[in-house]
Structure 1
Amino acid sequence: MEKTKRRRINKVATVEQVISHFKDGSSIMYGGFGGIGNPPTIINAILEKGVKDLTLIGNDAGFPHIGIGKIVSEGRAKKLIASHIGSNPVAGQLMTDGKLDVEFSPQGTLAERIRAGGVGLEGILVDVGVGSMVEEGKQKIVVGGKECLLETPLKADVAIVYAKKADTFGNLIYDTSARNTSPLVAMAGTYTIAEVEEIVPAGELDPECIVTPGVFVDMVIQTEGVNWKWAWE
């Protein structure tokens, strides 16, 4: 009797296949910090397609010509949810001119809101901002005699992350600080795309080194290459 063969899922795709998931008005969540850990090939493809009116969700606005900052600087985003935009003066000018709606969230709160979106929570409770302008429009809940603000979860149509290595099923390993919020971001996208430096067959990664399980990743593409040191210089 012929043995039943187990089908192996291969999520490796091309840039052309990836870009079909980005449309005008989409919400995009991205991993990384200050451009490091932003997926450059995907970002360049978004720019080339001319996608606009985007809602961007991530730690920061990158730099004017680095990472997600290139999308912001070209005026392709209508809204940005981030912890700060100080490294990108173009973002600050767009906000001042009323051309970019910016929602600030403290870094820890932002990370937890993303995690909440990824694991299916309806919100988190924090005491950061109680008694300040931050609490405007937010629901207050008393826990153990302490006032807290209800922060809503963050999700996106598409989540994009950059990883050091992946297998064909989408299991991911990150490289040092490029990891940043990427594991959380990968969980919070309706559709998640990983750009990676090296792709290996399923089963070749050490399970103890995998940070993001492939179950959270829908598509994997090979990066066209970036040297983060040069990008920062």
Structure 2
Amino acid sequence: MNKVRADAAEAVADIPDGASLAVGGFGLSGVPEVLVRALYERGTNGLKVVSNNCGVDGRGLGILLSAGRIARVTGSYVGENKEFARQYLGGELEVELTPQGTLAERLRAGGAGIPAFYTPAGVGTQVANGGLPWRYAPDGTVAVASPPKETRDFAGRPYVLEHGITTDFALVRAWRGDHHGNLVFRRAAANFNPLAAMAGRVTVAEVEELVEPGALRPDEVHVPGIYVQRVVALTAGQAADKPIEKRTVRP
């Protein structure tokens, strides 16, 4: 039952080239920076990443992206990452853009054992009809486009079929966690982290505070340990390293 690993390097040591990876975080909030850095230092390549966005330049998944270690991204936001946009438009990276709520539900469904579901999001657009550029050719033409999806009417309203997502591994960051893998997320960091944790066949969590079993009340646990296979306790410095993407202050 003790799922604690000595460090992040040990926790990601068996993630192979070409693995699929669900990664928590939104912008720079709740990103498993230490685990991503360990994966970068290990040299893992050809990753297929599922994440809301792909980090920013020089942080989070952005360091794997800039090193050419990511082959495919399923996400909903290119955001402020110029390298992400450059690789996508230059044909170096395959990208499946998905509505944000749909992406969240696809991860949740995968973790709950639900193979597919119908949603109204994307009906009447390229999300449902197909034709979204997944990969560009070097000359700017579309080399690979998304296929059309099944649609069906319920109570006179059209819905599109979306498939649940499961991945080989998941990397998440939690505020508190215990030796059994029970996790608690704090404020905005409870974004895609619980969903990513559910979707991974092997889930690795970095925790800012590691507590003994029984210290967490059952009603405060966001992700039960059954979903988590490995836990890494962060140092005080690692836990405090929380960059702000856009700082706004009063005059």
**What TM-score do you get using the length of structure 1 for normalisation?**
0.92
Separation in structure 2 between the aligned mates of residue 25 and residue 212 of structure 1, nearest angstrom: 27
Cα separation, partners in 2 of 1:118 and 1:33, compared to 1, 3 Å: same
Please say if residues 35 and 69 of structure 1, whose CA atoms lie closer than 8 Å, have aligned partners that are also in contact: no
Separation in structure 2 between the aligned mates of residue 75 and residue 16 of structure 1, nearest angstrom: 20
Which deviations, in whole Å up to 9, do the C-alpha atoms of 1:122-167 show, x marking residues without a partner? 1121122222222122111221222111011111100110001111
Among 68, 80, 83, which residue is 1:87 paired with? 80
Where does 1:214-225 land on structure 2 (aligned, <5 Å)? 214-224=225-235, 225=238
Separation in structure 1 between the aligned mates of residue 73 and residue 20 of structure 2, nearest angstrom: 10
Where does 1:143-182 land on structure 2 (aligned, <5 Å)? 143-182=154-193
Separation in structure 2 between the aligned mates of residue 79 and residue 67 of structure 1, nearest angstrom: 16
Please say if residues 116 and 154 of structure 1, whose CA atoms lie closer than 8 Å, have aligned partners that are also in contact: yes
Q: Which runs of 5+ in 2 are unaligned?
A: 131-147
**For residue 6 of structure 1, what is the aligned residue in structure 2?**
none
Higher mean displacement: 90-99 or 62-71: 62-71
**What TM-score do you get using the length of structure 2 for normalisation?**
0.86
Higher mean displacement: 201-210 or 111-120: 201-210
Which deviations, in whole Å up to 9, do the C-alpha atoms of 1:83-111 show, x marking residues without a partner? 11122110000001101101011111110
Please say if residues 21 and 158 of structure 1, whose CA atoms lie closer than 8 Å, have aligned partners that are also in contact: no
Separation in structure 1 between the aligned mates of residue 230 and residue 109 of structure 2, nearest angstrom: 22
Give structure 1 regions of 4+ aligned residues with deviation exceeding 6 angstroms. none
Among 3, 8, 12, which residue is 2:4 paired with? 12
Please say if residues 204 and 228 of structure 2, whose CA atoms lie closer than 8 Å, have aligned partners that are also in contact: yes
Where does 1:189-228 land on structure 2 (aligned, <5 Å)? 189-224=200-235, 225-228=238-241
Give the secondary structure class of the aligned counterpart of 1:99: coil
Give the secondary structure class of the aligned counterpart of 1:194: strand
Among 183, 196, 200, which residue is 1:185 paired with? 196
Q: Which runs of 5+ in 1 are unaligned?
A: 1-8
What is the number of residues matched between the two proteins? 225
Deviation at 1:229, TM superposition (A): 4.4
- The CA RMSD over aligned residues, in Å, is 1.4
Separation in structure 1 between the aligned mates of residue 72 and residue 242 of structure 2, nearest angstrom: 29
Separation in structure 2 between the aligned mates of residue 128 and residue 210 of structure 1, nearest angstrom: 30
Give the secondary structure class of the aligned counterpart of 1:208: helix
Please say if residues 208 and 239 of structure 2, whose CA atoms lie closer than 8 Å, have aligned partners that are also in contact: no
Deviation at 1:230, TM superposition (A): 3.8
Separation in structure 2 between the aligned mates of residue 124 and residue 189 of structure 1, nearest angstrom: 19
**For residue 29 of structure 1, what is the aligned residue in structure 2?**
22
